[in-house]
Amino acid sequence: MDASLSPIGRRPVVVGLGGTTRADSTTERALVVALRAAEAAGASTILLGGAFLATLPIFDPRPSGPTESQTQLLETIARADGVILATPGYHGSISGVMKNALDTLEFARPDCRRYLSGIAVGAVVTAAGAQAAGTSLITLRAIVHALRGWPTPFGAALNSATPLFDEAGRCLDDKDEGQLAMVAEQVVEFARMRDALQTQSALAN
């Protein structure tokens, strides 16, 4: 068996969700680098970037069916074995479009898995300063807990006060690339461990 494959014979699916309404934002570039690291670790990846986030209507908790873009988000997350969330730090917290996307997961409350239950969630924050990056990272990880996800032990906090990427989207600093890779690798590792556990449980039964 290919070592890059999960025990159930497929590559784990890692969904990247994040960015800003600005095309090719620093945050989305960071997310893309993290997803590439997940692919290098053996995962298949799906990107729901800033352009997608902008299509999501403001979440309305009143009873109604989800829109087409909301349904796409829910169905994509339902396929995920792991998720990487990426947000800019705005005024010490996560961005509005990112919070709206996470609020939209309330539609998944009746599902068997519910929200992000049982999957690893990596957190990536870009902010112009260490303080904003830190508080935003704490907020994002707290939301993941509320959604029953498993935040990875390591979260990436990138200081965008100076340029982070070159024109090709590569990290200018090896330390930043290392942070993003560690988040991705922990998400993939958890997905593999969970697959192994589920396989063992199925064989035992």
Residues whose CB falls within 8 Å of the CB of residue 74, separated by 6 or more in sequence, listed in order: 66, 104, 105, 107, 108
The H or E element containing residue 122 is strand 120-127
Q: Residue 9: its pLDDT value, please?
A: 56
* pLDDT, position 2: 35
Kindly report the average pLDDT of the chain as a whole number: 90
Provide the residue type at 105 as one letter: L
Q: What is the pLDDT of residue 201?
A: 66
pLDDT digits (tens, 9 = 90+) for 116-137: 999 999 999 999 988 889 999 9
Amino acid occupying residue 84: I
Length of the chain counted residue by residue? 205
Give the CB-side neighbour count of residue 172, counting CA atoms within 13 A: 10
For residue 72, give both structure tokens. 């796409």
What global pTM score does this model have?
0.91
- Rounded (10°) angle between helices 96-104 and 130-146: 10
- Please identify every stretch of the chain with a pLDDT value under 50, giving residue numbers as ranges: 1-8
The closest alpha carbon to 158, from 134, 191, 187, 193, belongs to: 134
Tell me 167's DSSP state. T
pLDDT of residue 49: 97
The pair of three-digit structure tokens given for residue 163, joined into one six-digit string: 């340029």
pLDDT at 6: 41
- Domains, the chain: 13-204 (3.40.50.360)
By the 8 A CB rule, do 125 and 158 touch? yes
What is the model's pLDDT at position 8?
46
